[in-house]
Structure 1
Amino acid sequence: MTVSILIVDDHTAVRRGVRAILEAHAGFEVIAEAGTGVEAIDLAVLHKPDVAVIDYSLPAMNGSQLTKRIKEASPRTEVLVYTMHESDALVRDVLGAGARGYLLKSDADQHLIAAVEALARHQPYFTGRVNEALLTHYLAHPGESSQLDTLTCREREVVQLIAEGHSSKQVSAVLAISLKTVETHRSSAMHKLSLETTAALVRYAVRNKLVEP
């Protein structure tokens, strides 16, 4: 059986590297590549890949947000998130979004093939260090939810874009929503996160890996 794969990363060189690793394995076929979340959603709708391998740190729409969108567009597609960050909160976030795999970029050479094989069988896959981090966290904080969980998908998109340096007007253009709606989402997110200034919002986004510093 051929496993169809979508690769999503905003760096062309990284996509080429991931593609080279995957296509060297018999039975894997990379059917599409995307550099943005919007492109990825369109390609997921068009191709319905078996597995989507997506970078967490995408501009405008992070890996958690994109995972939700892909699962809505193509429910049978399994999502593998790969990232340079080792974070309990980030693992919890992508799991909540519907991802079945989480792979550190530092482990990609050793684990990428096995991860895609597992997801193609609809089985979860996490690298050893991530497994340990998950277990340690959940034993220490059973049932804990992140503040991020209180934000809607649109609120997260607005927060990420603002933290990336976009003005409210630019966010309005990127998301194709009115300036008033942007301000409403921004205000709601800041209230939920108990933040009072844009600087505090940016620091929160960096601390919680919504954007890279």
Structure 2
Amino acid sequence: MEQIKILLVDDHKLIRDSWAFILNSDPRFNVIEATGDGDEAIEIAKEKDPDVILMDVHMTPVNGFDATKAIRAEVPRAKIIGVSMHSMPAYAKRLIQLGAMGYVTKNSSKEEMIHAILEVHAGKKYVCEEVKSILAEHEIQEQEANTNINLLSRREIDVAKLIKEGLPSKEIAQKLDITLKTVEVHRYNILKKLNLRNTASLVNFINAQGL
């Protein structure tokens, strides 16, 4: 069986050395080069044509996003797996939009990293369990939010929109021709129905829902 040629890109030498040792101890893999520089990674990829690249997302001056974009343009055959300290789904989505095939965090186990390499090398996309769990949680919260917003009355939605605009309760009362006490009751009911804690979380919710 032909070995999978791997390029390691991480600006921490200890991490590069550790992964090189782990992967080279497995007969399926051959770490052909390791670097902590994004620009150098682009040149190595063009010269050595790796099968899989483990790409640290956060490097300077050339970060993993820019390096991924450049390598995909120059060496489209190479399969790139983003590696990050952060489990933010937005990072995974952005990197995959730039052409990466996978995303794992530095909390991922050795077994998961190896599984990711094998999956990506086989032409499949792979996102680590940690990020998938967060994505699933976000999806559930979004579904709940869409359900909860239907609980608001027309007047409560009007009040919520004016809160988003930054109006204090007194001005909202004047604008909607209702009493200050009624506005405060609406504010309380809106937060309660949407399971939100404060005005800041309400503004974020309104923006997310596009009200």
TM-score, length of structure 2 as denominator length: 0.63
1:67-146 equivalences in 2 (<5 Å): 67-137=68-138
Partner SS for 1:29: strand
- Where do 5+ consecutive residues of structure 1 fail to align? 143-213
1:30–1:98 Cα change, 3 Å: same
1:141–1:44 Cα change, 3 Å: farther
Between the two proteins, what is the percent identity of the paired residues?
30
Count of residue pairs the alignment pairs up: 142
Cα pair 2:12 2:36 within 8 Å, conserved: yes
Amino acid at match of 2:3: T
Distance in 2 of aligned mates of 1:58 and 1:7: 13
Question: 1:4: how far off?
Answer: 0.4
Question: 1:9: how far off?
Answer: 0.8
Amino acid at match of 1:105: K
Question: 1:3: how far off?
Answer: 0.5
Amino acid at match of 1:131: K
Choose 1 or 2 for highest CA Rg. 2
Aligned to 2:55: 54
Partner SS for 2:107: helix
1:154-193 equivalences in 2 (<5 Å): none
Cα pair 1:5 1:49 within 8 Å, conserved: yes
TM-score, length of structure 1 as denominator length: 0.62
Question: 1:120: how far off?
Answer: 1.1
Distance in 2 of aligned mates of 1:87 and 1:80: 15
- Where do 5+ consecutive residues of structure 2 fail to align? 144-211
Distance in 2 of aligned mates of 1:27 and 1:140: 41
1:138–1:43 Cα change, 3 Å: farther
Question: 1:111: how far off?
Answer: 1.1
1:54–1:114 Cα change, 3 Å: same
Q: CA RMSD in A?
A: 1.8
1:139–1:73 Cα change, 3 Å: farther
Cα pair 2:82 2:92 within 8 Å, conserved: no
1:28–1:141 Cα change, 3 Å: same
